[in-house]
Chains A and B, each alone.
Chain A
Amino acid sequence: MGLVRRDAPPPEETAAPPTTGTLMRQLDDADPDCRREAALGLGGVAEAVPALLRRIAVETEPLVRDAVLTTLAAHDTAKVADGLGGHLASDDAGLRTAAAEALATMPVSVPAIIPGLLTDPDHDVRVMTAMVLADLPHPESQAWLAQMIAEDAHPNVVTAAIDALLPSLGPEHHDLLRAAVQRFPDDPFLRFTVEAALR
């Protein structure tokens, strides 16, 4: 009893890691822990991307969904951006916000899908797009947000874009903000936000 030392490597350390094929099959296992570990184990494996994208579309267990997205976001390729971009319209709030978070970490491939998202007919998708741009480390993020503030027809999209632009707001944006209030004079939150930002 007391402090004991263990030098022998645990069995897991000596066991050969599962193959990509095994892990891809385990993405559909009935046990969520097994699916979660499989998703993490597929980190960096490009051939697993389609299977991971198929999984994220049907996965309902938040723990597994987070693991799949952690692995997918690291790929930052057009295929992943397209696949996750579609989930910004999801009725599942957990999925659409988690997809937005993942997209915000993909500065290489996300810019290509932004023009399409900015003109999406669903204003809820455009609100989610502002959430992506808020954190996307890309030199054009500010310009896209400014475009949303200047042009979007829905006040909730405009206020989401103003919030996202706030950390990089400069005097050059002041006219843009004043014009937004002119376009939506009846929105109390938009007026308050712009007044606070201009103060």
Chain B
Amino acid sequence: MTDKRPKVLVVDDAATVRLYHRTLLDNAGFEVAEAANGLEAVEAALSTAFDLFVIDVNMPKMDGYACVETLRSETVGTPAPVLMISTEDRPGDADRAYAAGANLYLVKPVDAERLARVARMLTAGIAA
């Protein structure tokens, strides 16, 4: 990897999930930042141009869907790809994610290889 590693923001209220995704994405060649709920993610995205967002669904203060909607709205307006990862696997959840503006919706658990593959696919052509 060169020094231009693509920047990813990992958004999850669970510290263990943030650590897991940070570790996997760091190994996969990404520069990783963290946010602990949807609002923090929005504030982070106002200050930094991320190349990828990895976002949980159930979070306090602002849930994942509302977070993606805000990232896509004129408040932030980021075009960067969004991967949602959820514990929920009921029908309709994926459709809600796509309607909010997510690019891909996966159900936990996501193993290392799959997360790395998907993250690279979503950021293909962005950097390094």
Contact = CB atoms under 8 A, between A and B. Distances in A.
Contacts of B60: 97-98, 100-101, 131
Contacts of A187: 109
Interface size class of A (residues with CB under 8 A): 20 to 34
Which size bracket describes the interface of B in this complex? 20 to 34
Contact of A192 (B13, B23, B57): B23
A193 B57 contact: no
A188 B111 contact: yes
Nearest to A184: B109
A97 B58 contact: yes
B17 A189 contact: yes
Interface stretch (B2-10, B44-52, B63-71, B75-83): B63-71
A72 B3 CA distance: 51
Contacts of B96: 93
Nearest to B87: A156
A131 B58 CA distance: 9
A57 interface: no
A93 B58 contact: yes
B109 A188 contact: yes
Interface in A83-108: 91, 93-94, 96-98, 100-101
A75 B96 CA distance: 33
A91 B23 CA distance: 31
A193 B20 contact: yes
B28 interface: no
- Please classify the interface of chain B as helix (H, G, I), strand (E, B), loop, or mixed, using the class held by over half of its residues: loop
B15 A156 contact: no
Given A124-B90, A156-B87, A189-B108, A94 B66 contact: yes
Given A160-B87, A189-B109, A101 B61 contact: yes
A160 B20 CA distance: 13
A124 B88 contact: yes
Given A91-B90, A160-B87, A163-B15, A190 B58 contact: no
A166 B87 contact: no
A162 interface: yes
A152 to B, nearest CB: 13
Interface string B104-115: 000011111000
A116 interface: no
Contacts of B109: 155-156, 159, 187-190
A196 B64 contact: no
Interface of B: 13-17, 19-20, 23, 57-61, 63-66, 87-88, 90, 92, 96, 108-112
Given A156-B109, A166-B16, 4 more contacts: A94-B66, A101-B60, A189-B108, A193-B20
7 contacts: A93-B57, A94-B66, A159-B16, A162-B16, A166-B15, A192-B20, A193-B19
Closest 6 CB pairs of A and B: A93-B63, A163-B14, A156-B87, A189-B109, A163-B16, A193-B16
Interface of A: 62, 91, 93-94, 96-98, 100-101, 124, 127-128, 131, 155-156, 159-160, 162-163, 166, 187-190, 192-193, 196-197
